[in-house]
């Protein structure tokens, strides 16, 4: 399988800021790679360089075997790009926007119109097709922009944070659309701050931080780097923390991390639900009231923390990362 998107040592600086600091990337044909990183990691910069919107200061990039610097026009004819911020004309209708893109790509009148209607259907915008985009919600604009990237059936797609700002339902819908595209053979590089999104869509995940790839692998491989399952218990009373800790230590064998502030205890376990049941039984026997008990599989947030020593939400960008330090 050949690499349809390939970057070697990409560098881009803005004064003191190293937006990209030697980024390497390879996306095999027909696969999905997610560039996963927090705000300012360099995701948009990388996509813009690969999509020929921006020149790199150093390094090499090719798309569909074409050097992005030497022949940007040839690259452009093979890619679809949906940027982080929807680029749609406010005063045209959704339909007119897509038809315009079709004509820009040189589609004939009829095929361009048909394609516009087809995409409006796919993206759940058929009812709003003939309304000016300025009446659209943020999520509708987002979907229209994505549809625009697909007008010309490009074999290579770049989607920069495709579902940021969408509600959970629209996000799941969009994941389905994207999965269909990939099944149809597209090669896709997407960026995301949503770890779940990378998990759901990507064959391969490149974790990017400060303009560099700091890890690469499948979601499972990355999760494997932080170890297996953990049991989490929140006890009702401060006075029970010590006893609960002793109990967990016996059950889990590994290190128990105690957050006294939230009265949460966490420990690595093997044995899954059985361990959970046993913990509950023993807690009950000791008369320890429990507010919450759960078996937690490592998330990609945990991976990020393990890899970088800092959480992904330093800019408040990611929900659910917390400042947890349990390993």
Cα separation of 252 and 244, whole Å?
12
Structure tokens at 168: 């959970």
Q: Which of ligand ATP, Mg ion, none is residue 172 near (CB under 5 to 8 Å by kind)? A: none
Compare residues 112 and 192 and give the one whose CB is closer to Mg ion.
192
Complete DSSP assignment for 2-21: -EEEEEEEEEEEETTEEEEE
Residues binding Mg ion: number (CB under 5 A)? 3
Residue 44 engages Mg ion in binding (rule: CB under 5 A):
yes
Q: Please say which residue, 41 or 201, places its beta carbon nearer to ligand ATP.
A: 41
When the beta carbons of 295 and 317 are compared against ligand ATP, the nearer one is 317
> Do residues 305 and 314 make contact, with C-beta atoms less than 8 angstroms apart?
no
The pair of three-digit structure tokens given for residue 137, joined into one six-digit string: 């919600």
CB of 301 to ligand ATP, least distance (A): 15
Binding partner of residue 91 among ligand ATP, Mg ion, none, CB under 5 to 8 Å per kind? none
Compute the distance between CA of residue 303 and CA of residue 212 in angstroms, rounded to an integer. Answer: 16
**Interacting residues with ligand ATP (CB under 6 A):** 14, 17, 19, 37, 39-45, 84, 193
Site residues (CB under 5 A) for Mg ion, limited to 233-252 = none
- Does 321 sit near Mg ion (CB under 5 A)? no
C-alpha–C-alpha distance, residues 136 and 141, integer Å? 6
Report in angstroms how near the CB of residue 44 gets to Mg ion at its nearest. Answer: 3
Contact partner, 42, from ligand ATP, Mg ion, none, Cβ < 5-8 Å per class: ligand ATP
Closest to 206 (Cα-Cα) out of 1, 14, 17, 50? 50
What is d(CA 212, CA 204) in angstroms, rounded to the nearest whole number?
16
Question: From the CB of 37, what's the least distance to ligand ATP, in Å?
Answer: 5
312 binds, among Mg ion, ligand ATP, none (CB under 5 to 8 A by kind): none
C-beta separation of 170 from 182 below 8 A: no
Q: Which does 140 bind (CB under 5 to 8 A by kind): ligand ATP, Mg ion, none?
A: none
Residue 218 interacting partner from ligand ATP, Mg ion, none (CB closer than 5 to 8 Å by kind): none
Give the Cα separation of 209 and 215 in Å (integer).
Answer: 9
For residue 78, the number of C-alpha atoms closer than 13 Å in the C-beta half-sphere is 21
What whole-number distance in Å separates Cα of residue 178 and Cα of residue 42? Answer: 23
Q: How far is the CB of 164 from ligand ATP (least distance, A)?
A: 8
Q: Select 44 or 82, whichever has its Cβ closest to ligand ATP.
A: 44
Q: Lay out the site mask for Mg ion across 78-117 (x = CB under 5 A, - = otherwise).
A: ------x---------------------------------
Partner from Mg ion, ligand ATP, none contacting 289, C-beta within 5 to 8 A by type: none
- 298 neighbors 194 (Cβ within 8 angstroms): no
Number of Cβ within a 10 Å radius of residue 210: 16
Residues near Mg ion (CB under 5 A) are 43-44, 84
């Amino acid at each position: 399988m050949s690499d349809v998107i390939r970057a070697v040592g990409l560098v881009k600086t803005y004064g003191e800021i190293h937006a990209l600091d030697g980024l390497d990337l390879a996306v095999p044909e027909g696969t999905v790679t997610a560039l996963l990183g927090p705000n300012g990691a360099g995701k948009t910069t990388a996509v813009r360089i690969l999509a020929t919107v921006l020149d790199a200061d150093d390094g090499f990039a090719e798309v569909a075997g074409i050097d992005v610097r030497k022949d940007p026009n040839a690259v452009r004819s093979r890619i679809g790009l949906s940027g982080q911020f929807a680029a749609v004309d406010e005063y045209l209708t959704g339909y007119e926007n897509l038809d315009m893109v079709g004509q820009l790509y040189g589609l004939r009148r009829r095929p361009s119109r048909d394609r516009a209607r087809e995409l409006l259907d796919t993206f759940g915008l058929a009812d709003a097709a003939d309304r000016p985009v300025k009446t659209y919600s943020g999520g509708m604009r987002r979907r229209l922009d994505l549809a625009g990237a697909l007008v010309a059936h490009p074999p290579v797609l770049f989607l920069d944070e495709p579902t940021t700002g969408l509600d959970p339902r629209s996000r799941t819908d969009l994941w389905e659309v994207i999965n269909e595209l990939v099944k149809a053979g597209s090669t896709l590089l997407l960026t995301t701050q949503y770890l779940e999104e990378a998990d759901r869509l990507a064959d391969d995940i490149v974790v990017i931080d400060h303009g560099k790839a700091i890890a690469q692998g499948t979601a499972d491989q990355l999760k494997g780097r932080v170890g297996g399952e953990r049991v989490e218990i929140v006890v009702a009373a401060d006075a029970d923390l010590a006893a609960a800790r002793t109990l967990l230590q016996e059950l889990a064998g590994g290190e128990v991390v105690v957050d006294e502030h939230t009265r949460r205890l966490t420990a690595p376990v093997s044995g899954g639900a059985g361990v959970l049941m046993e913990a509950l039984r023993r807690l009950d026997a000791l008369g320890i009231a429990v507010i919450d008990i759960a078996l937690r599989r490592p998330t990609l947030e945990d991976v990020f923390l393990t890899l970088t020593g800092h959480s992904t939400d330093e800019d408040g960008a990611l929900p659910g990362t917390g400042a947890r330090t349990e390993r």
